[in-house]
Structure 1
Amino acid sequence: MKDILRPIYQERASQSNTLGVLMVEKRHKSSHTTDTFDVILLIIVKDGEQPLLIKHYTYNDNKAAMHIITEGLLKEWLLLGTNRKIFEWLYHAKILFDRNEYIANLKTELREFPFNGRKIKMGLEFAKLIRRYVDGKALFENKQFLDAYNYVVHSLHHLARLAVIENGLHPELTVWQQVKQIEPEIVKLYEELVNSEEPIEKRLELLFLASEFMIHSRTKVGCAHLLDVLGTKEYWTFNEIQNEEELIPYSVDLAVLIEYLNEKGLIDVVSLDTKGHGIFHRCYQVSKKLS
């Protein structure tokens, strides 16, 4: 198979812009890892006219896809988890070309999962968890039980991913299989929500109580990255927070997370005068209790 595809990737490998070429083969018939293709050629380049270029090929009744991705997009996927298959591709791929051991070093970094990388990923996952939990609870209180159910399922998924990251692993496509070994209590919560014969209102009520404890116990580790960044200044406007380079990945979940941490006493509100009488700028600082 490698010989048949060689002309496709060899030209790319010879270009100085190419950092590495990997081949991911479909491991068994029902595998979803390669998006129904028999083989994926993953080509990582330093930069490109577009972050992602995909080409499809046919050979001997087989299908192949070539994904050319920039280093910047790859790092974004690895940080934000927006393409979870990339982890499996990097883990299981055969290295066909590796410039200056770029791929080998990348795989080592993924395997060792440095603490700072974990801290950022836990922060992003915690922010998503809080957003789904808060929105789900609001829907529940408005008796929109089916919509609340959907949000709670998502919040449990983020809780599961957070537990996996906290234990030094990258969440994979089979995250529930991973978390079953690490923290079966989260799996039990999920199963009770999905399989219980109780009315949906009762299921949600019990789950909000149980998950509140689990979220509370993870709050400090989940917000450590955000608090570290906010601790570098005396206080911040919200605009400064959302435009801070390290915090941009928190995106739409940031406002809800800030409010949640204010409620929990981890972030204080600082009121500054404006030109208008009786109206103040609302700024934020790490709680004095934590210093």
Structure 2
Amino acid sequence: MRRIHDDEADTSPATLRALVATVPGWADLPLHPVGATGTDHVVQRLGDGLVLRVPRKESAARSLLDEVGHLRHVAPHVPVPVPEVVHVGAPTAGYPYTWAVLRWLGGSDAWAARRELEDPRGERLAADLAGLVLALRAAPPLPVPRRNAGQRGGPLQGVLERSERWLSGSDGPLPAWVDVDAVRHLVHRSRSAAHDEVPYVLTHGDLIPGNVLVDGARLAAVIDWGYGSLADPALDLVAGWSLLGPAARAVFREAVGADDATWERARANALEQALGGVVYYTPRRHPLADVMGRTLRRLLDETHP
């Protein structure tokens, strides 16, 4: 298994097979890699009806534990399927973190299906995503964490500071294609919304293509709920750029009823995530760099249409 991060645990095929073999009856089930853009976990299909999720590092393991706790609370309140936890595995002598097996969900991830989702067909996905976002907002109080300062979906000033960090080059250079002046303009224009008082709502927290499954141009399921949280309602509106083209984005904005300030905060959150992904994953030659690069290009295209 190719390493992505410097501090990864051993997730070699032998390790994955050894984890599966700790569950009676599963030792002979076939394993097949799935998904190309995930970076926190090694994800493999287990047999016909299951999926194995094995964290690559400690932060991902914490996220997985959060996800396992969130799913049973979230599932009754959203209009699409979410993963069902089948088994939670303990650390072993050869692997240091908790891991999990979930029920397999059908559909293609939205990055693999990206050509099918181009405008105008993406407008159908936009309406479905809006339904998901509104359902989360309408859910009763659930036991999920709250986004803090310095986290995406937290107070906007911290999000803008993270964007400035990516722009500074302290974590690595931006690719040559990035118009740094245009990016700085986007950061600057968002400062007007940095002091808004925002009532937090329930959010998925990471609506990017690898976490959204589609069937044709319709939303089929949403996976990876490890970042579910109470957050700025702008956080899940990042989907407007990560998943949707211009026409579909307008449909999405209208359907969720985003005012100018909320949309500006959403743009700022999308920008920070895209910058961080491009800086971190481009030198690692990982497909998530392409995913985040597309989001960044969409943001810049709005500045220079």
Larger of the two Rg values belongs to structure: 1
Which has the bigger relative contact order, CA under 8 A and spacing at least 6? 2
Structure with greater strand share of residues: 1
- TM-score, structure 1 as length reference: 0.32
Structure (1 or 2) with the greater helix fraction: 1
Normalising by structure 2, report the TM-score.
0.31
